[in-house]
């Protein structure tokens, strides 16, 4: 570069720098072309729909088998009820002094416990109240760790998306998924429905069922600005006591002992259903309206004048919607008698726990040393091919479902479904036809605990 040229060039840089020093927006704006929805096509081995309690574990496990895995989640983070729903105390991993559910779900819980500076309680003693063996997790940490593990396992996460069509074509699932400004066609060898609502099962044309009356959902929140111990309860109507008392119990940093429970405030939302955007919108609105109403009422009570909401979950958590009609229906009798099948892949432990219209809870406890189990057939819709479900929408009668739906059980199902899907690909047969022994062996290799 000659001297003169160089000087001119430097000058031009100088001029540019001056412009760059002005507020960016003045010179940065450009007109853009109207946005056209970005369309794409991708192929995957295992497609998991729903990155909630079960789906997160299913996706991590699928990725760890080396299968190319895609996860579609309509929300913005992983964990579902465990995180977004505020039910941040997964249970139950231990029964009668022993660990009964391990694997990836437990690994995730452990990492969350550790990163929160907590220490596990002693699970060798059976507590008087079953819920004391639930493990409180920090939901923010849980969501981040879940995502990190998915990414480490090579899972392609697609947030803000939801399938609009699901077709089985030439031995493959073709799933069209739409999200913010994107439309994707995904071809998958195996499909796992972890939406909690069996929506994908139903879209695929398989039968799903639902009770006339379902359990209420809950919108979870916490309140501050008052001191429960200073309240004169005799001056406050009974119906408010629960709301006021529950919110005074705080999530403790656990050291040891059976103090892992995190009581939480919630308002019931009757008929809450998260299956579609429309039904979930209604459930959210109803939850928020009754919480507003409650807060207004509480502020009228003596000693509660300064009550305020300190946190509220972004959506109503849902207990019960649709279940699949599967190759095997787990009955309440199976559950409470601790029945183990040849193809039982995971344990489940919780009392039968049915919330009735938000007014009372029907509970039935398992007798000592009994633990229920989940057969692979309960995760396979009738007449389906290369299709599995995991999570609360598994095939079960209503009372069995009220216990099976808990998080550790959902995590166990997620891991089992992913292993079954990967073996199906490897063996070239549909999940219903694979040997349970093969699935069990593989699950054990990945740290899961197998019923025997």
156 binds, among ligand FAD, another protein, none (CB under 5 to 8 A by kind): none
Q: Which is nearer to ligand FAD, 377 or 392 (CB)?
A: 392
Q: CA neighbours within 13 Å on the CB side: how many for 101?
A: 39
256 binds, among another protein, ligand FAD, none (CB under 5 to 8 A by kind): another protein
68 scored as a contact of another protein (CB under 8 A): yes
Distance CA 125, CA 257 (A): 10
Distance CA 30, CA 34 (A): 12
Kindly state the smallest distance separating residue 90's Cβ from ligand FAD, in Å: 5
- Residues 356-415 touching ligand FAD, rule: CB under 6 A, are 391-392, 405-407, 410
Rule CB under 6 A: choose which of 199, 354, 379, 439 binds ligand FAD: 199
Structure tokens at 182: 């994107």
Element (H, E) at 428: none
396 scored as a contact of another protein (CB under 8 A): no
Q: Which is nearer to another protein, 66 or 224 (CB)?
A: 66
Q: Which is nearer to another protein, 152 or 213 (CB)?
A: 152
Preceding peptide of 92 cis, ω within 30°: yes
Structure tokens at 411: 């995590």
Kindly state the smallest distance separating residue 118's Cβ from another protein, in Å: 11
55 scored as a contact of ligand FAD (CB under 6 A): yes
Question: Strand locations in 129-196, DSSP E?
Answer: 156-159, 162-169, 172-179, 182-193
Distance CA 195, CA 310 (A): 29
Please list, in sequence order, all residues whose beta carbon lies within 8 angstroms of the beta carbon of residue 201, skipping any fewer than 6 positions away. 193, 208, 324, 381, 384, 387, 389, 393
Q: Of the candidates 145, 161, 183, which has an alpha carbon nearest to the alpha carbon of residue 50?
A: 161
DSSP 3-state of 54: helix
240 scored as a contact of another protein (CB under 8 A): no
User: Quick check: 217 and 268 in contact, CB under 8 A?
Assistant: yes
319 binds, among another protein, ligand FAD, none (CB under 5 to 8 A by kind): ligand FAD
329 scored as a contact of another protein (CB under 8 A): no
99 binds, among another protein, ligand FAD, none (CB under 5 to 8 A by kind): another protein
Residue with tokens 């849902």: 318
87 scored as a contact of ligand FAD (CB under 6 A): yes
162 scored as a contact of ligand FAD (CB under 6 A): yes
52 scored as a contact of ligand FAD (CB under 6 A): yes
Give the interface with ligand FAD as residue ranges (CB under 6 A): 49-55, 72-75, 80-82, 85, 87, 89-91, 134, 162, 194-197, 199, 217-218, 317-319, 391-392, 405-407, 410
């Amino acid at each position: 570069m000659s001297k003169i040229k160089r000087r001119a060039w430097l000058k031009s840089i100088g001029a540019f720098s001056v412009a760059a020093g002005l507020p960016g927006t003045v010179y940065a704006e450009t007109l853009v072309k109207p946005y056209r929805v970005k369309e794409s096509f991708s192929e995957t081995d295992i497609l998991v729909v729903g990155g909630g309690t079960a789906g997160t574990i299913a996706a991590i496990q699928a990725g760890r088998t080396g299968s190319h895995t895609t996860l579609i989640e309509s929300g913005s983070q992983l964990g579902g009820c465990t995180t977004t729903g505020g039910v941040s105390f997964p249970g139950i991993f231990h029964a009668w002094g022993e660990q009964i559910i391990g694997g990836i779900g437990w690994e995730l819980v452990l990492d969350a416990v550790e990163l929160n500076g907590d220490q596990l309680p002693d699970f060798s003693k059976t507590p008087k109240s079953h819920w004391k063996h639930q493990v409180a997790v920090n939901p923010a940490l849980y969501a981040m760790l879940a995502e990190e593990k998915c990414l480490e396992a090579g899972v392609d996460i697609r947030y803000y998306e939801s399938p609009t069509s699901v077709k089985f074509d030439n031995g493959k699932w073709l799933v069209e998924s739409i999200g913010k400004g994107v439309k994707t066609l995904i071809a998958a060898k195996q499909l796992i429905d972890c939406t909690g609502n069996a929506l994908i099962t139903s879209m695929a044309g398989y039968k799903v069922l639902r009770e006339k009356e379902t359990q209420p959902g809950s919108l979870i929140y916490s309140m501050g600005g008052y001191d429960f111990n200073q309240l004169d309860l005799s001056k406050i109507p009974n119906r408010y006591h629960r709301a006021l008392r529950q919110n005074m119990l705080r999530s403790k940093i656990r050291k040891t002992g059976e103090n892992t429970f995190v009581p939480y405030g919630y308002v019931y939302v009757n008929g809450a259903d998260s299956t579609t955007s429309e039904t979930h919108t209604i459930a959210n609105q109803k939850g928020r309206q009754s919480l507003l109403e409650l807060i207004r009422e509480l502020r009228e009570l003596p000693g509660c004048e300064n009550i305020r909401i300190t946190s509220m979950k972004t959506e109503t958590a849902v207990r019960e919607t649709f279940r699949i009609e599967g190759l095997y229906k787990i009955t309440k009798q199976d559950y409470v008698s601790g029945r183990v099948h040849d193809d039982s892949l995971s344990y489940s432990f919780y009392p039968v726990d049915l919330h009735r219209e938000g007014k009372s809870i029907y509970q039935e406890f398992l007798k000592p040393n009994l633990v229920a189990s989940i057969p692979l057939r309960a995760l396979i819709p009738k007449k389906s091919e290369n299709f599995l479900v995991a999570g609360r929408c598994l095939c079960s009668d209503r009372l069995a479902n009220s216990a099976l739906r808990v998080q550790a059980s959902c995590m166990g199902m997620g891991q089992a479904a992913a292993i079954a899907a990967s073996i199906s690909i490897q063996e070239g047969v549909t999940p219903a036809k694979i040997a349970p022994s093969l699935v069990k062996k593989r699950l054990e290799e990945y740290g899961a605990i197998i019923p025997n």
